Chains A and B, each alone.
Chain A
Amino acid sequence: MYKGYAMGNGIAKLTERKNLWPWLLLAPLAIYMAVFFLVPLIDVAIMSVTEPRPTLANYQRVLTGSLYLRVFLNTFMTAIMVTFACLLVGYPLAYLMASSKPRTATLILLLVTMSFWTSFLVRTYAWMVLLGTNGPIIWLLQSLGVQQPPQLLFTRFSSTLAMVHILAPYMVMNIYSVMRKIDPVLIRSAESLGAKGLALFRHVYLPLTAPGIANGSVLVLVICLGFYVTPVLLGSPREQMVAGLIGNQIDEFLAFGMGSAMAMVLLVVTLVILTIYHRRFGLDKLWG
């Protein structure tokens, strides 16, 4: 035991002097991430300019071809719409939680947490049931007297709705964590100074909750831009999003060059959004 003590101390002294200890602890992970994360990522960048021939032709097609531009635009518009809808859905729910009794708040939080942890696939499947031709929503429309109910499934509407449902928990949790910390004294003093209704909300409550809105929105926007599963399963095959189109290039056409070029554009857009966010708020807060 004493020997162990002396030895441990010795190693500690040796490594502390040269400050090697943190490097030794970090090295396995750093090497692993370099080999199995960075290299594959760099591989995508290389393929985008070498497959099938070493030119910039892939980027030229991706950035000027009307098909690809339309898909990128469509993806961006969808992501913004989903973010906005998540905000509309998430804000009232977070407010309901923040303003209810602890018991109710816990119950709602439980529900949101359950939704958060339930697989994307399960929730996507649930929307397939809800919106299907033999599903409850079509049935409801029919019993309300709609003769020819519209096609709901496999449209932009169904995939957008499902994505809002799937991503709303991210928004709710971010906004709720900010709302919960708002000092009620601030609201009361604003009220005592004469603020009420919409004015109270606009000038006091909304600015106080802005950090939560920013966090939630960036997270939802970024996840939605690269969303694969739900748009592919529920969306219209004619109005794909970027991730679905990248998938097609790989598993149907084996067009690694085009797939990689689109992947790089998606990656750059995502990183730009996150970098702007990082400059203003700090990334560690986003997932923390």
Chain B
Amino acid sequence: MNRFLRWLGIAVVIFIAAPLVIVVPMSFSNARSLQFPPPGYWLGYYQAYFTDWSWLRPTWNSILIATATTVLTMALVVPATFALVRHRFRGKGIADVMMLMPLAVPHIVMAVGYYSYFGAFGIVHTHLGVVLAHTCLSVPIAFLVLSANLKGFDRTLERAALSLGASPARTFIHITLPILRPGLIISALFAFIQSFDETVVAIFISGRDAETLPRKMFDSIRQEADPVIAVISTLLFAAVIVGVTAPLVVARIRSRRSRLAAA
């Protein structure tokens, strides 16, 4: 039984890894259409991506929209998380549900709603519209990360500062925020990624003017896969590799350094 599950597990590792790895050689391929293994290799499609405004503009739009979404999300979520984690009040249960609701509603449903609702305000196909929509979708993720951090917060540190005469504002700035910083960074990062990756709502409301990278990729894959897709896929995958391994590398360097210090 054990053996059987293990072999199955190894097969699954290949199943998970193969599609991720395959986009890398594809990005160096010189074929015009999908072909694997590639008939030859060149960097032409990288050049195409970095010189073609029809790809660079959506990339820039996505960075802009994701940055604005992150700022807005954090401005709303940070105070609200303090309220929901540290206080008991009437209506708290409803507020908790409201925070998580966007996770439960399929994005296609929200896309229909935003298309009509933002259309009425004339902000469909604008950066503003996409930011407003993406913020709603980022709120629950930022909240989950931050509230988990805040629940584990040792409040005696704050009480100590207060009892030593620090004002509540000073305590917040010098004690609460620095301790909470990793949680804040991760929660902002998740909000950013959520917006940068969001596809369905962007397809329907970003239009030509505020076209995001996922929308451009979707259209391009739909119209028989522009080879530049492989380049972007490789770049996005590379970003994921860096993002996922960086914390491990940092942790290893730190532990080695502390071991050296101890020796």
Binding site for B on A (CB under 8 A): 1, 4-5, 8-9, 12, 19, 21-23, 25-26, 28-30, 32-33, 36-41, 43-44, 47, 89-93, 95-97, 99, 106, 108, 110-115, 117-130, 132, 134-136, 139, 165, 168-169, 197-198, 200-201, 222, 225-226, 228-229, 232-233, 242-243, 246-247, 250-251, 256, 259-260, 263-264, 266-267, 270-271, 274, 283-284, 287-288
Is A129 a contact of B37 with CB atoms below 8 Å? no
Q: Out of A115, A168, A197, A287, name the residue touching B20 (CB < 8 Å).
A: A115
Is B19 a contact of A127 with CB atoms below 8 Å? yes
Is B169 a contact of A28 with CB atoms below 8 Å? no
Fill in one digit per residue for B77-113: 1 if any A CB lies within 8 Å of its CB, else 0. Answer: 1011011101101001001001111111111111111
- Give 5 pairs: A residue, B residue, CB < 8 Å, sorted on A: A4-B167, A43-B113, A115-B16, A263-B109, A266-B109
Is A96 a contact of B5 with CB atoms below 8 Å? yes
Complexed CA–CA distance, A112 and B170 (Å): 42
Complexed CA–CA distance, A19 and B86 (Å): 12
> Knowing A8-B169, A19-B89, A33-B139 touch, does A123 contact B20 (C-beta < 8 A)?
yes
Complexed CA–CA distance, A246 and B87 (Å): 41
Is B244 a contact of A229 with CB atoms below 8 Å? no
Complexed CA–CA distance, A96 and B135 (Å): 38
Complexed CA–CA distance, A267 and B193 (Å): 25
Is B83 a contact of A22 with CB atoms below 8 Å? yes
| Chain B residues near A129 (CB-CB < 8 A) | 22-23, 26, 34, 36, 230
Residue among B10, B22, B26 with the most chain A CB within 10 A?
B22
List the B residue with the shortest CB-CB distance to A107. Answer: B13
| Chain B residues near A197 (CB-CB < 8 A) | 1
Q: Out of B35, B140, B167, name the residue touching A8 (CB < 8 Å).
A: B167
Complexed CA–CA distance, A240 and B133 (Å): 26
B132 within 8 A of A: yes
Interface-side segment among B49-57, B177-185, B233-241? B233-241
Complexed CA–CA distance, A237 and B238 (Å): 32
Smallest distance from the beta carbon of A197 to chain B beta carbons, Å? 5
Interface-side segment among B153-161, B218-226, B255-263? B218-226
| Chain B residues near A106 (CB-CB < 8 A) | 248
| Chain A residues near B250 (CB-CB < 8 A) | none
Residue among B111, B144, B229 with the most chain A CB within 10 A?
B111
A-B CB proximity, top 5 nearest: A226-B106, A96-B9, A40-B113, A92-B8, A22-B87
Is A135 a contact of B34 with CB atoms below 8 Å? yes
Is B218 a contact of A233 with CB atoms below 8 Å? yes
Smallest distance from the beta carbon of B177 to chain A beta carbons, Å? 15
Smallest distance from the beta carbon of B227 to chain A beta carbons, Å? 11
Smallest distance from the beta carbon of B14 to chain A beta carbons, Å? 10
Complexed CA–CA distance, A163 and B206 (Å): 25
Complexed CA–CA distance, A23 and B34 (Å): 56
Complexed CA–CA distance, A251 and B111 (Å): 11
Residue among A22, A38, A117 with the most chain B CB within 10 A?
A22
